[in-house]
Amino acid sequence: MKLEIYGKNYNPSDSLKAVTEKKSAKLARRLKGDDDAQVKYTVTLENGVYLTDLTVVTRGQTYRAEAQSDSPFDNVDTVIPKLLGQMRKQKDIWGRSKKGTPNVYEEGEE
């Protein structure tokens, strides 16, 4: 898993980077078999409000979540559960069997 933290109009502090890496361990558990997964945090400061955007690209799937508040630390706490929920929902959809009965075709008499 490759973790990248960017800032627009804001320089992410070392403490924010440390907290983000620590909290991203939950994502690492979900992505444990994928070393090529890319996790990108983008923190933007606009008019005193922090917007945090989290994008995860793994095995052809892209997951994205964002949060907005007065503190970038609160945003990290909000964004990760949103993204994990999306991943959990996608896993449930793939594991679910199809609804209905399978089509059975009889061979016609000639």
Higher pLDDT, 7 or 34: 7
pLDDT exceeds 70 at position 98: no
Residues linked to residue 8 through DSSP beta bridges, in sequence order: 44
Half-sphere exposure of residue 85: CA atoms within 13 angstroms, side-chain side = 6
Q: What global pTM score does this model have?
A: 0.77
Distance CA 53, CA 30 (A): 19
Query: Average pLDDT of 8-14?
Result: 91
Task: Find out whether 79 and 65 touch, Cβ atoms under 8 Å.
Answer: yes
Rounded alpha-carbon distances, angstroms, from residue 28 to 25, 33, 66, 97, 101? 5, 9, 19, 27, 38
The one-letter amino acid code at 48 reads G
> Strands of 61-69's sheet, edge to edge?
2-8, 38-46, 49-58, 61-69
Q: What is the pLDDT of residue 32?
A: 81
Give 37-93 pLDDT, tens digit per residue: 899 999 999 999 999 999 999 888 899 999 999 999 999 999 999 999 998 888 777
Higher pLDDT, 41 or 97: 41
Task: Find out whether 15 and 33 touch, Cβ atoms under 8 Å.
Answer: no
pLDDT exceeds 70 at position 109: no
